Amino acid sequence: MTKYVFNWPSGGGGDFILSLIYSYYEDSGHFSSNPRLNLWSVENKYTSDYRTFKYFDQPEKQQQVLDNMPDMCTLQTHSIARHDPLEYDDNTQVFNIYMDDRYIESYCWVLYTIKTVQLEHDQFKGLMSMNGKLPDVKNCHNISYRKLFIEQDPQVIKHLFDLYNVKDYDINEVQRLLKAYDDKNNRILTITFFEDTIDRTDKRMVRMSQRKTMAYCLEKPPAKTIEAQRKIVQEIEYFDQQ
């Protein structure tokens, strides 16, 4: 059996890719999204208790979570690419999404600030302090943000999904969902920069249990107002029950 560690800088799409991976598990639980902001989270026995973001500067706490974590679960973190790596055995797979260059770093940080809260301009340094590659050692897998989300590279997808022991996935479906996620991020940027500011005060998430609902949610345009957002949430909830 295998344990997993998944590291990504803020804004790097880790919550979405984990929602997508675990959607193929029989006991996948639920995944949630704020369709206006393209925020995602996954809620199941494999992930919910192992989010270690509050331990960003406490690797010893992260190590404790990893040591006590059951097989098939994923420890989620933003910090191990820049801090001392965790200690793990041969049955642990460690994944790290990295930003390929300054353009991708800036792109993801702008998305992060749009989706969360407006930060001071010098906080751009925050993402760059998280970004980096893991050592090229056994069971460490560096994943290019560009290849995974922008290019939907089939070899990168296959490598990731196979190591997560995902069965019977359709790589074309995965590529479509990754492209839809990337397209929606770009629509959010377009609205913010060229049309209007998206209202970020309502961060409520809509829960869903089917991958077809994930696709339906990604197709929905980013709502500019809270009223429009509530209508879209109702439509997604109804669709998931069908």
Residue type, 151: E
Nearest to 157 by CA among 180, 225, 35, 170: 170
Average pLDDT over residues 109-125: 65
The DSSP output letter for 164 is: T
* pLDDT given for residue 198 in this prediction: 64
- Cβ-contact 44, 27 below 8 angstroms: yes
State the CATH number of the domain containing residue 227: 3.40.50
Tokens 């959607």 belong to residue: 23
- Cβ-contact 12, 32 below 8 angstroms: no
Average pLDDT over residues 130-153: 85
Most confident of 45-59, 83-97, 164-178: 164-178
Asked if residue 189 has pLDDT above 90, the reply is: no
Asked if residue 128 has pLDDT above 70, the reply is: no
Q: Which residues, other chains included, contact 174 with Cβ-Cβ below 8 Å and sequence gap of 6+?
A: 20, 152, 157, 161
For CA atoms 237, 164, 148, 173, give the dihedral sign: negative
Residue 43, token pair as written in the block: 């809620």
Residue type, 190: T
Report the distance separating Cα 124 and Cα 237, nearest Å. Answer: 36
Q: Which domain holds residue 199?
A: 3-240
pLDDT tens digits along 76-88: 998 776 666 788 8
- CB hemisphere CA count around 108 (13 angstroms): 27
Average pLDDT over residues 51-73: 89
Cβ neighbours around 136 below 10 Å, total? 7
* pLDDT given for residue 122 in this prediction: 43
Average pLDDT over residues 38-58: 89
Instruction: Please work out, in degrees rounded to the nearest 5, the angle formed at the alpha carbon of residue 110 by the alpha carbons of 107 and 111.
Output: 85
pLDDT tens digits along 143-163: 999 999 999 999 999 999 999
Number of domains in the chain: 1
